[in-house]
């Protein structure tokens, strides 16, 4: 059941991934390894290809060329696009999480906070009502959500609370890899700071790997170990987060860093 | 015995400012330095010579152009200039402590936690880590009423002491200190001098920038000059 994960192997290996849209480049020739426990930030202006890349990595979009291999529990590195659709779906349910910018895209608005989490657990085989409820309460507690409101509908929550529920929903299945697209994007600055700190703590405590797309360099600095800077669909610079931000090499990265007040 | 050494060979670092038409500012050129455990090197040189830049290159916060920054920890040698990010992060967890001039605060994290973090990263239980952090904060005269508050609102000197506590809470084999006593009064400055000397005596290799000559005289075992380069056209 607990197949050994080889710590000397990346969790995700991305090789020369390219995705064209009809007339435009989505992302071109992107390669990197993501290691267990590592958080990779992807930054760049809007339209730079960040979300296209994230969608390719999470198999929501199929690249035109290149390979994305994932280190499966059962058989090591496997090319995601050679798996069957069913295998891929199972993997997404058991191993991966996806935190959307808009909680509405990641939550079912018609069922309670508790049920949103229970549902994810049932999708990976949980059956005992008491266990599911207890675990839902546990995860809601971990994201500092007021348990008394567990049975309320997400539509009655603030944006920050909805985002907490979305995060709890993703963590409840003990994933190994979490994709996040502007996880604090639509929130007030104060709410954003609390949530970021929480995310940072959770990812660290749980030893998760994560890929975080953001246009906010302060978010990237706080959450990610490593940074990739994208422009016009290409990675122009990558490296240790504080090195990229404090000693940017590429003209575009220098422009990005100098355009903000302070990170 | 403490088996650590740092060997810097032929190190060069320049900055290229693209917004200025690719203006190149050379800062370090063919710089060499060997540091062994039990030594405290004081970097000296005029303002802007590149002392802080050198420390940041050793911490891999700045990317050196060429040369080697070899850390030899118990026979395991890593060139931090070319090491992968995850290797660098591992070295920062286990080998290199860096006390920068300014504290970069993480919102919402209380001071005592900020200080205890290097221990928590090494899986030392929370209560032990907290106890050690409190002891060090007390020794550095950071008032107890501040311990549970995030350091964002602290005075310059208070923040600097938090930063120092963070750097000294774990016995890092290599310590990089950028003006650790700059905004401290005499009493607090002497606590820092004690900490530096204790670290050296337990076998740490230390490289520091100490503008105060008295401080330098009390801690340094060797002075190394960083000379300003002429800006190339
Ligand atoms: N991130 C950076 N980007 C561009 N130039 C930089 C950067 N960091 C430092 N420099 C430049 O490198 C040179 C050396 O600076 P550094 O801070 O290392 O000097 P220093 O010897 O520590 O000076 P001081 O004694 O005043 O602290 C300066 O000209 C500085 O402007
Ligand atoms: Mg300096």
B48 lines ligand 1 (CB under 6 A): yes
Average of per-residue pLDDT values in chain A: 90
pLDDT tens per residue across span A100-144: 999 999 999 999 999 999 999 998 888 888 899 999 999 999 998
Task: From A248, A243, A226, A240, select the one nearest B15 (Cα to Cα).
Answer: A248
- Nearest-angstrom CA–CA distance, B219 and B194: 9
Three-state secondary structure call for residue B70: strand
Q: Which atom of ligand 1 lies at the shortest distance from residue B54's CA?
A: 18
Q: Is B231 exposed, middle or buried (0-12, 13-18, 19+ CB in 10 A)?
A: exposed
Q: Does the pLDDT of residue A196 top 90, yes or no? A: no
Give the one of A196, A200, A242 whose C-beta lies nearest to B61's C-beta. Answer: A242
0.90 surpassed by complex ipTM: yes
> How does B47-66 read in b/e, with b if 16+ C-beta sit within 10 Å?
eebbbbbbbbbbbbbbbbbe
CB pairs under 8 A between A and B: 50
Tens digit of pLDDT for each residue in A148-163? 999 999 999 999 999 9
Which of B19, B63, B89 has the CB atom closest to A247's CB atom?
B63
Per-residue pLDDT tens listing for chain B (233 residues): 458 999 999 999 999 999 999 999 999 999 999 999 999 999 999 999 999 999 999 999 999 999 999 999 999 999 999 999 999 999 999 999 999 988 877 778 899 999 999 998 888 999 999 999 999 999 999 999 999 999 988 999 999 999 999 999 999 999 999 999 998 999 999 999 999 999 999 999 999 999 999 999 999 999 999 999 875 44
d(CA B96, CA B101): 16
| Rounded percentage of chain A residues whose pLDDT exceeds 70 | 96
State yes or no: pLDDT of A27 exceeds 60: yes
- Which candidate from B56, B63, B85 shows the least CB-CB separation from A249? B63
Instruction: List all residues 6 or more positions away from B117 whose beta carbon is below 8 Å from its beta carbon.
Output: B109, B166
Interchain proximity A247–B60, CB inside 8 Å: no
**For the segment A31-51, what is each residue's pLDDT rounded down to a tens digit?**
999 999 999 999 998 888 898
Residues B167, B87: Cα–Cα separation, whole Å: 19
Cα–chain-centroid distance for residue A182? 9
Q: How far is Cα B216 from Cα B204, in angstroms, rounded to an integer?
A: 17
Strands of the A96-99 sheet, one edge to the other: A96-99, A177-181, A209-213, A39-43, A226-231, A234-240
Classify B178 as helix, strand or coil.
Answer: strand
Non-local CB neighbours of A127 within 8 Å, separated by 6+ positions: none
pLDDT(A82) > 60 = yes
Quote the tokens at residue A255: 């422009």
* Inter-residue contact B151 to B105 (CB < 8 Å): yes
Provide the residue ranges of all domains of chain B, joining segments of one domain with +.
27-225
**Is B108–A243 a contact, with Cβ atoms under 8 angstroms apart?**
no
**Residues comprising chain A, all counted:** 263
pTM score, whole prediction: 0.93
Mark yes or no for CB contact A38/B86 under 8 Å.
yes
Sign of CA dihedral B129, B135, B139, B144: positive
Q: Under a CB-based contact definition with an 8 Å cutoff, are residues A227 and A220 in contact?
A: yes
pLDDT at residue A262 is higher than 70: no
Q: What is the dihedral of CA A164, A165, A166, A171, to 10 degrees?
A: 90
Q: Assess contact for A133 and A152: CB atoms under 8 A.
A: no
- Does residue B46 line the site of ligand 1, with CB under 6 A? no
Query: What is the distance between the alpha carbons of residues B209 and A146, in angstroms, rounded to a whole number?
Result: 49
Residue A29, pLDDT above cutoff 50: yes
CATH number (3.40.1550.10, 3.60.15.10, 3.40.50.300, 3.40.47.10) of B27-225 reads 3.40.50.300
Contact A108, A116 (CB under 8 A): yes
Ion ligand 2 contact residues with beta carbon within 5 A: B 52
**What is the Rg, in whole angstroms, of the alpha carbon atoms belonging to chain A?**
18
């Amino acid at each position: 059941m607990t197949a050994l994960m080889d710590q000397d192997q990346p969790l995700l290996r991305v090789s020369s991934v390219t995705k064209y849209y009809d007339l435009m480049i989505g992302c071109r020739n992107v390669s990197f390894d993501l290691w267990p426990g590592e958080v990779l930030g992807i930054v760049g202006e809007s339209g730079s290809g960040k979300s296209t890349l994230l969608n390719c990595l999470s198999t929501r979009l199929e690249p035109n060329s290149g390979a994305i291999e994932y280190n499966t529990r059962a058989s090591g590195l496997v090319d995601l696009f050679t798996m069957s659709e069913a295998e891929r779906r199972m993997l997404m349910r058991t191993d991966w999480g996806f935190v959307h910018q808009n909680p509405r895209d990641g939550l079912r608005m018609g069922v309670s906070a508790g049920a949103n989490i229970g549902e994810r657990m049932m999708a990976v085989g949980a059956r005992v009502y008491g266990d599911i409820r207890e675990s839902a309460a546990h995860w809601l507690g971990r994201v500092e959500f007021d348990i008394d409101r567990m049975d309320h509908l997400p539509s009655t929550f603030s944006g920050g609370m909805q985002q907490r529920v979305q995060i709890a929903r993703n963590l409840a299945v003990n994933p190994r890899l979490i994709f996040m697209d502007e996880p604090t994007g639509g929130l007030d600055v104060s709410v954003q700071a609390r949530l970021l700190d929480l995310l940072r703590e959770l990812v660290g405590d749980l030893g998760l790997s994560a890929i975080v797309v953001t246009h906010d360099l302060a978010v990237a600095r706080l959450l990610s170990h490593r940074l990739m800077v994208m422009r016009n669909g290409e990675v122009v610079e990558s490296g240790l987060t504080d090195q990229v931000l404090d000693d940017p090499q590429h003209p575009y990265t220098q422009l990005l860093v100098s355009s903000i007040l302070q990170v | 015995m403490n088996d650590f050494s740092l060997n810097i060979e032929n190190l060069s670092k320049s900055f290229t400012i693209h917004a200025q038409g690719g203006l190149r500012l050379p800062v370090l050129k063919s710089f060499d330095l060997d540091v062994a455990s039990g030594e405290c090197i004081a970097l000296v040189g005029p303002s802007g010579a590149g002392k802080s830049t050198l420390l940041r290159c050793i911490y891999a916060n700045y990317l050196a152009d060429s040369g080697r920054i070899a850390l030899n920890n118990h026979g395991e040698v890593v060139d931090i200039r070319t090491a992968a990010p995850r290797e660098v992060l591992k070295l920062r967890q286990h080998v290199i402590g860096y006390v920068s001039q300014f504290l970069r605060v993480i919102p919402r994290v209380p001071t005592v936690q900020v200080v205890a973090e290097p221990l928590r990263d090494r899986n030392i239980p929370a209560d032990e880590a907290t106890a050690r952090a409190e002891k060090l904060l007390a020794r550095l005269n950071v008032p107890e009423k501040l311990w549970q508050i995030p350091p964002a609102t602290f005075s310059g000197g208070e923040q600097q002491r938090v930063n120092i506590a963070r750097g000294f809470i774990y016995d890092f084999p290599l310590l990089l200190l950028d003006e650790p006593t700059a905004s401290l009064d005499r009493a607090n400055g002497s606590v820092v001098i004690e900490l530096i000397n204790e670290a050296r005596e337990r076998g740490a290799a230390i490289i520091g920038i100490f503008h105060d000559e008295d401080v330098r005289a009390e801690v340094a075992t060797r002075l190394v000059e960083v000379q300003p380069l002429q800006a190339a056209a």
